[in-house]
Amino acid sequence: MSIAKVEPLTNARALHGPFDYRLPEAMAGLEVGSVVRVPFGRQRILGVVVGLAESSELPPERLAEPIEALEAGAPPELVRLGLWIAREYCSTASRGLQLALPPGTGAAGQRVRSRLELRAEIAAAGEKALSGGERLGVKQRAVLEALRAGEMSAADLASAVGADRAVLRRLEERGLIATRSSRMRRRSAQPDVGATGGCPELLPEQVTAVEGVVAALDGEVGAQREELRHGVTGSGKTEVDLAADEAALARGRGAIVLVPEIGLAPQAVARFRARLGDRFAVLHSALSDGERYDEWRRLRSGEASVCVGPRSAVFAPVGDLGLVVIDEEHDASYKQEGDPCYDARAVARKRAADCGAVLVAGTATPRPETWLELPRLELPRRVDGRVMPPVRVLDMREADPRSGPLHPDTWEALGAVREAGAKAIVMVNRRGFAPWLTCRSCGRHWDCPNCDVSLIVHRHSGRLVCHHCAHTEPLPRACADCDSTTLSQAGVGTEQIEALLAERLAPIPVFRLDADTAAGRGAHARILAAFGEAESAVLVGTQMVAKGHDFPEVTLSAILDADATLRFPDFRAAERTFAMVAQLAGRSGRGPAGGEVIVQTLAPTAPSIVHAAGHDATTFLAEEVERRRALRYPPFSHLTRIVLKAEVEGRLDRAAAELADALSDSLPGETDLLGPAPMFRVRNRHRRRFLLKAADREATIAAVRDTVENLAADRVLRDVAISVDVDPQ
């Protein structure tokens, strides 16, 4: 008798699987990773086979049988990875496993099947029927005549001669045609931005980087299996990645290339597609379920062996994985915000280690953690031999307030871009027109009714918008409290900068790239393609405009309010500010015309801005590491954040108090427990936060996991949502 150990796809924390099911002979071929529908109490739910056994603790007659097996399942290695994530990030087995499943498979029972296409070809009897006197209907004859030119699909035949499936079925029954079903691939229509299939000659340091990967792939003694590739912006890291992928393919092995946000990297995707052709697949959430499923199947079957995508692509079913690349490794988008709050960089290291693959993390602005943990290879110069662009830091404390959000020197530089027929990128890390609306007469401030935050002015849509819960209301013309029309829109966002530039720099076009303009499917790629095709233009946006774009015509990059991130109560504030300024600086001066960078700030002497202006990552990281060491921040300690949410504040506080008591009793020594601290309300739910600062990471994770599961089993968390974020970003 065969027993399948099935983990139900349900997110209840108090439920502990797996559960045993007796396999009938018809399901004897099930393996670890198979997805099955099983009876579970009075329900029929989906589950994942996480193990197989010959016997069970329960007698066979007490074991139920699975109802059906789904078309596709996850590879066993991804099942193990999903269960590891559940343990490592204090989540449930169900949520960990769902990361590894085929797209479209979930706890709600949703399934996406392969799209099949009926294809027909003429048979020998059909040829004889056309040349002989056999009786044929008008449409039957038309079908056979059309098929003389070659095989056609049922859809094409219907379009060409008006023949429906019934006509094809009758012809097949007479033996005049042969039909078969073939799997169709659903493709996403994405414009290629700057696609090129050429293979440029590599610089010596690029060759060294590729040779290091090849040596590790070949298992040479002393070769590095993990590496931080630290290269300045424009140093050709993508070309090195492409060459490394081709080396892995030449050895019959697959590769995964992680990018921060696939929608913001259409140029990189286009280059991979142009070089690798059908061996390349892309997985990301902007694809439809059907498109993602087809790409997933191509990888699962081995038709494609290289996958490019954001953090979720770390779970791509690439066979015989030989190489994992983490592009722009510093980017915070590699951290999943929802449960499980996994870090794709840590998951990539785990998967590479388990598969014997080589791991390469590449960035111009490394995190202190990566800087200390991984051996480094330097790419110190741009591939075109050009120097990094000079950076001007403009002290906005000395600027005339009447000049508005842009310094006079910035306006002068933008005017020079217009006169030269070049391009510029302007970044302001806040979307909307203005972040606050206030009545000057009575002092009323417009807040979100569901969240304890201000509503953002969006003048283009004429709305006030909450960026946390998406609540909107019309932009008022007068104050509802005092009828005054003296309403003040304070602060600046991307919409306002776009309007100012369009007015002052006409006639050159101004494009805006932020979460509002890029919300539509493929909108980001269309905006970047339009910017790339324009003779002269300005691109305005949030941090989206600083991520990996390569436009040689850009001669000016400008960042407004560069020190805004320094005001955040976050020990990573300096690191993020340095990365933001340095990455935007890297967008300029990639062409023969050279370029410059302007940084507008109220903190011109802040070390992160000074070092970013000097393109000096090494000194910044050395100072930041020592600051972290002195304050015992990561990587010299380990953080875990726990957030409780509830609509009823009293119930939330009682649960928080019980959690605090339980954690105090279970956490290992030398662990600081901070909280519960109040957080601002979001979506009508009150929140409380705990922060744990520990020396022993594994013991702390185990204590938190056990505590949360015990409280859930005791119903302490009834009507209270809890999320655990290990290594919060």
pLDDT digits (tens, 9 = 90+) for 656-666: 999 999 999 99
**Which residues make beta-bridge pairs with 439?**
487
Based on the domain organization, do 410 and 316 belong to the same domain? no
- pLDDT classification of 191: cutoffs 50, 70, 90: low
- Please tell me the least confidently modeled range out of 47-56, 148-157, 336-345: 148-157
460-507 per-position pLDDT tens digit:
899 999 999 999 999 999 999 999 999 999 889 999 999 999 999 999
Based on the domain organization, do 255 and 398 belong to the same domain? no
374 in the same domain as 408 = no
Q: Tell me whether strands 306-309 and 254-258 are parallel, antiparallel or unpaired.
A: parallel
Rg for the chain, CA atoms, rounded? 29
Could you tell me if 213 and 280 lie in one domain?
yes
Cβ proximity of 368 and 575 under 8 Å: yes
In a shared domain, residues 618 and 645: no
> Residue 109: what pLDDT?
47
CATH number (domain holding residue 684): 3.30.70.600
Q: 257-284 pLDDT, tens per residue?
A: 999 876 656 677 778 888 888 898 988 8
Q: How many domains does the chain fold into?
A: 5
- Tell whether the torsion through CA atoms of 136, 138, 143 and 145 is positive or negative: positive
Q: In the numeric block, which tokens belong to residue 451?
A: 């969240």
pLDDT band at 197 (very low <50, low <70, confident <90, very high): low
Q: Which residues contact 491 (CB under 8 A, 6 or more apart)?
A: 430, 434, 435, 436
CA 370 vs CA 332, 456, 517, 585, 671: distances in Å? 13, 36, 33, 22, 23
Return the SS3 of 616. Answer: coil
Average pLDDT, the chain: 89
Report pLDDT for 107. Answer: 42
Q: Does some domain include residue 474?
A: no
Print the domain residue range for 682.
638-726
Residue 235's pLDDT is: 85
Co-location of 210 and 350 in the same domain: yes
CB 472 within 8 A of CB 409: no
* Torsion 253-323-342-703 (CA) sign: positive
In a domain, 194, yes or no: no
Residue 106 included in any domain: no
For position 618, what pLDDT does the model report? 95
pLDDT at position 294 over 50:
yes
Task: Tell me the sheet residues that pair with 438.
Answer: 445, 488
State whether 235 and 313 are in the same domain: yes
Side-chain half-sphere CA neighbours of 251 within 13 A: 20
What residues have CB less than 8 Å from 322, skipping those under 6 apart? 217, 248, 251, 253, 254, 255, 355, 356, 357, 358
DSSP class of 277:
G
Residues 259 and 359 in one domain: yes
Task: Report the distance separating Cα 465 and Cα 649, nearest Å.
Answer: 25
Select the more confidently predicted residue: 46 or 547: 46
Q: Is residue 105 part of a domain?
A: no
Of the residues 98, 131, 160, the one at which a domain ends = 98
Distance CA 201, CA 290 (A): 39
Residue type, 425: I
Beta carbons of 364 and 233 less than 8 angstroms apart: yes
Q: Give the phi and the psi of residue 172 in degrees, each rounded to 5.
A: -70, -40
Same domain, 275 and 371: yes
Q: Which two tokens stand for residue 205?
A: 């340091």
Q: Are residues 357 and 408 in the same domain?
A: no
SS3 653: helix
Q: How does DSSP classify residue 183?
A: E
- Which residues make Cβ contacts (< 8 Å) with residue 720, sequence separation at least 6? 644, 645, 646, 651, 652, 655
In a domain, 480, yes or no: no
**How many CB atoms neighbour CB 148 within 10 A?**
11
For 335, which DSSP code? Answer: B
- pLDDT higher than threshold 70 for residue 116: no
Residue 83 belongs to domain with CATH number = 3.40.1440.60
Q: Which of 601, 627, 653 is the last residue of a domain?
A: 627
Q: Is residue 601 part of a domain?
A: yes
Q: Are residues 234 and 259 in the same domain?
A: yes
Residue with structure tokens 């142009």?
274
pLDDT of residue 108: 43
3-state DSSP assignment of residue 184: strand
Instruction: Calculate the alpha carbon distances from 223 to 205, 219, 229, 375 in Å.
Output: 16, 7, 14, 11
In a domain, 484, yes or no: no
Assess whether 27 and 129 both reside in one domain: no
Instruction: Determine, yes or no, domain membership for 550.
Output: yes
Whether residue 596 contacts residue 392, with contact meaning beta carbons closer than 8 Å, is answered with yes
Instruction: Name the token pair of 162.
Output: 């008006």
- Identify the pLDDT of residue 155: 81
- CATH number of the domain residue 618 falls in: 3.40.50.300
Q: Quick one: pLDDT at residue 113?
A: 59
Q: Which pLDDT value is given to residue 432?
A: 93
